[in-house]
């Protein structure tokens, strides 16, 4: 247990937030920091065919220890962390034998993690839970996945009596900003099928995916001294409010589940002269997805 925790803590201490406003691969140079740590670690545990390409896609191989051929399988996780909230100076906290009650993350700021709000917590009663102090992301998405994969490969290398075919692993950049698969070399990876180690509850297996897009709506207004504004001022923030109200109010993340699509307004920056609205658009149904994109445009 402690070995896994130590590895996880080492990864989350490395800031790897991606940048949705940068078209480069990777979108932030700091993602290389974790990639280089992983290259060194994969070599240390005995992985083979380790490659790190110019776009920060890292792949490695655990050779088969069978005397017959079986299909190659793969395991994938992403190295970047979401840019939506602070992910620097992470202070992880370990809660042993969770009792199913509220967890006080930060006494000074009165930040509480409660099963009354997140009832999934109750699935982990009696287990060890790792959280932040409430002031940052934990970066478990998806450094927990990386930890799982590296530790599993290490265990298999240490226990050759466990028979397995060829296993390929990959760690990718920029998943959080929707670009993680863009330059992924499927042929180079060479797996018959693969699993992404990312998600939520233990035992969950997702075998489908949604269609996703982002949209930036820019509204330009006209600023005039408010004492002389009648018939002249155009307030972009008020127009933005009108635009928001035109989209279906019940097709938002907090009002949908299952296969229901949504428009997610996640950022507003505005003044009288100019307002930007940043949306995420998602839908499992491709036809409905295309209609959503037309609707917002």
C-alpha span between 219 and 273 (Å, rounded)? 8
- The answer on 229 and 247 residing in a single domain is yes
**Rounded to an integer, what is the distance from CA 231 to the centroid of its chain?**
46
DSSP-derived letter for residue 122 is: G
- The answer on 285 and 260 residing in a single domain is yes
Residue 204 is predicted with a pLDDT of: 84
Residue 96 has pLDDT above 80, yes or no: yes
Residue 14 is predicted with a pLDDT of: 97
- The answer on 158 and 78 residing in a single domain is yes
Domain count, the chain: 3
Could you tell me the maximum CA-CA distance found in the chain, to the nearest angstrom?
Answer: 85
Active-site annotation holder among 15, 19, 80, 148: 80
**What Rg, from alpha-carbon coordinates, does the chain have?**
23
Q: Is residue 203 part of a domain?
A: no
The tokens for 255 are 């009002």
CATH of the domain at 259: 3.30.70.360
Catalytic residue status for 175: yes
Residue 9 has pLDDT above 80, yes or no: yes
Domain encompassing residue 226: 211-296
pTM equals 0.87
Higher local confidence (pLDDT), 246 or 201 = 246
Phi-psi bin for 260: left (phi > 0), alpha (psi -120 to 50), beta? beta
Please report which helix (H) or strand (E) contains residue 105, including its range.
Answer: strand 103-106
Residue 206 is predicted with a pLDDT of: 85
Confidence of residue 41 (pLDDT cuts 50, 70, 90): very high
- The answer on 173 and 96 residing in a single domain is no
Active-site annotation holder among 15, 142, 148, 175: 175
105-136 residue pLDDT tens:
999 999 999 999 999 899 999 999 999 999 99
- The answer on 52 and 141 residing in a single domain is yes
C-alpha span between 25 and 178 (Å, rounded)? 12
- The answer on 62 and 158 residing in a single domain is yes
- The answer on 225 and 98 residing in a single domain is no
Residue 207 has pLDDT above 90, yes or no: no
Local structure of 185: helix, strand or coil = coil
Residues 6+ apart with CB under 8 A from 67: none
The tokens for 45 are 């545990």
Mean pLDDT to the nearest integer, 51-72:
97
Question: Any idea of the CA torsion for 148, 282, 34, 30, to the nearest 10 degrees?
Answer: -170
Residue 203 is predicted with a pLDDT of: 82
Residue 137 is predicted with a pLDDT of: 95
C-alpha span between 92 and 95 (Å, rounded)? 10
- The answer on 141 and 65 residing in a single domain is yes
Q: Is residue 204 part of a domain?
A: no
Residue 97 has pLDDT above 90, yes or no: yes
CA distances to 88, 177, 254, 265, 267 from 24, rounded to whole Å, are 22, 12, 32, 24, 22
Residue 91 is predicted with a pLDDT of: 94
Higher local confidence (pLDDT), 178 or 105 = 105
CB-neighbour burial class of residue 23 (10 A; exposed 0-12, middle 13-18, buried 19+)? exposed
- The answer on 27 and 150 residing in a single domain is yes
Residue 200 has pLDDT above 80, yes or no: no
């Amino acid at each position: 247990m402690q070995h896994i925790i130590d590895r996880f803590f080492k990864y989350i201490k490395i800031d790897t937030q991606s940048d949705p406003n940068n078209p480069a691969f990777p979108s932030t140079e700091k993602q290389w920091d974790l990639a280089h740590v992983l290259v060194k670690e994969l070599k240390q545990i005995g992985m083979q065919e380790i490659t790190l390409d110019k776009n920060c896609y890292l792949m490695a191989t655990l050779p088969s220890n069978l005397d017959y051929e079986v299909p190659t399988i793969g395991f994938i996780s992403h190295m970047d962390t979401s840019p939506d909230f602070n992910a620097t100076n992470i202070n992880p906290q370990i809660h042993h034998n969770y009792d199913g009650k509220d967890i006080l993350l930060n006494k000074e700021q009165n930040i509480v993690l409660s099963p009354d709000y997140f009832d999934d917590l109750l699935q982990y009663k009696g287990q060890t839970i790792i959280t932040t102090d409430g002031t940052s992301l934990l970066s478990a998405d998806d450094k927990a996945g990386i930890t799982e994969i590296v530790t599993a490969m290490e265990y298999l290398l240490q226990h050759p009596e466990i028979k397995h075919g060829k296993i390929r692993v990959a760690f990718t950049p920029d998943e959080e900003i929707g670009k993680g698969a863009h330059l992924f070399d499927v042929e180079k990876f060479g797996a018959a099928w693969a699993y992404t180690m990312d998600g939520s509850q233990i035992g969950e297996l997702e075998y489908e995916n949604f269609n996703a897009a982002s949209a930036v709506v820019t509204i330009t207004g006209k600023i005039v001294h408010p004492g002389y504004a009648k018939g002249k001022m155009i307030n972009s923030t008020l127009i933005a409010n009108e635009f928001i109200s035109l989209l279906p109010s019940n097709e938002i993340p907090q009002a949908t589940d299952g296969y229901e699509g949504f428009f997610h307004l996640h950022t507003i920056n505005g003044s009288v002269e100019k307002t930007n609205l940043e949306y995420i658009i998602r839908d499992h149904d491709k036809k409905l997805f295309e209609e959503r994109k037309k609707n917002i445009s």
